């Protein structure tokens, strides 16, 4: 089972890429749980909401994993870890434990570079430090030993399709 995770800072094209890859490979993708959760919250989120989001994201990943030989995810727990650290200075132990367990899985990351214009959205908070966050994502993936490919430039979809095709052939 190969898990493809599309990750990176906000407004870097993750969801757009997931939708296009899902269409191309005719597989569903697991949406970012945070967006659904926060849209239904009806108030500003707090640190404890991030643990609930992590558990929802984790649960959705488990459901999808059981169905397909190739699975596609719009973010994962690493995003929630980075956001916890960025916003609150530390991350919940449960999230860290799950990320450690996932190191033994066959996971491949597309790290989206924020080289496209930032688009305002009620859930987005960081229009000015996306490159700094991108570097944090890159370092995190390297520290965890995950394979990844940086998605950037005009040929994001073409490059992603090519990379997945090589991985599954």
Is 5 in a helix, a strand, or coil?
strand
Q: Which residues of 52-80 are buried (b: 16+ CB within 10 A; e: fewer)?
A: ebbbbbbebbeebeeeeeebbbbbbbbbb
The secondary structure of residue 22, as a DSSP letter, is H
Does the predicted model carry a pTM greater than 0.75? yes
Write the secondary structure of 61-124 as one string of H (helix), E (strand) and C (coil): HHHHHCCCCEEEEECCHHHHHHHHHHHHCCCCHHHHHHHHHHCCCCEEEEEECCCCCCCCCCCC
pLDDT in the model for residue 44? 83
- Each of the 169 residues of the chain gets a pLDDT tens digit; together they read 889 999 999 999 999 999 999 999 999 899 999 989 998 887 788 899 999 999 999 999 887 665 667 899 999 999 999 999 999 999 999 999 999 999 999 999 999 999 998 887 767 777 788 999 999 999 999 999 999 999 999 999 999 999 999 998 8
pLDDT in the model for residue 149? 98
Non-local (6+) Cβ contacts of 58 within 8 A are 77, 98
Q: Which of 27, 32, 31 is nearest to 1 (CA)?
A: 27
């Amino acid at each position: 089972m190969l898990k493809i995770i599309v990750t990176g800072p906000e407004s870097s094209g993750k969801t757009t890429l997931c939708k296009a890859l899902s269409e191309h490979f005719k597989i569903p993708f697991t949406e970012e749980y945070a967006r659904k959760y926060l849209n239904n919250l009806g108030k500003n989120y707090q640190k404890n909401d991030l643990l609930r989001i992590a558990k929802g994201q984790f649960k959705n990943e488990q459901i999808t994993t059981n169905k397909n030989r190739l699975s596609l995810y719009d973010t994962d727990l690493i995003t929630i870890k980075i956001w916890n650290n960025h916003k609150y200075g530390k991350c919940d132990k449960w999230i860290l434990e799950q990320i450690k367990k996932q190191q033994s899985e066959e996971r491949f990351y597309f790290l989206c570079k924020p080289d496209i214009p930032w688009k305002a959205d009620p859930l987005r908070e960081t229009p000015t430090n996306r490159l700094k966050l991108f570097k944090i994502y890159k370092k995190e993936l390297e520290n965890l030993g995950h394979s990844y490919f940086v998605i950037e430039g005009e040929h994001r979809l073409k490059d992603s399709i090519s990379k997945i095709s090589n991985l599954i052939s």
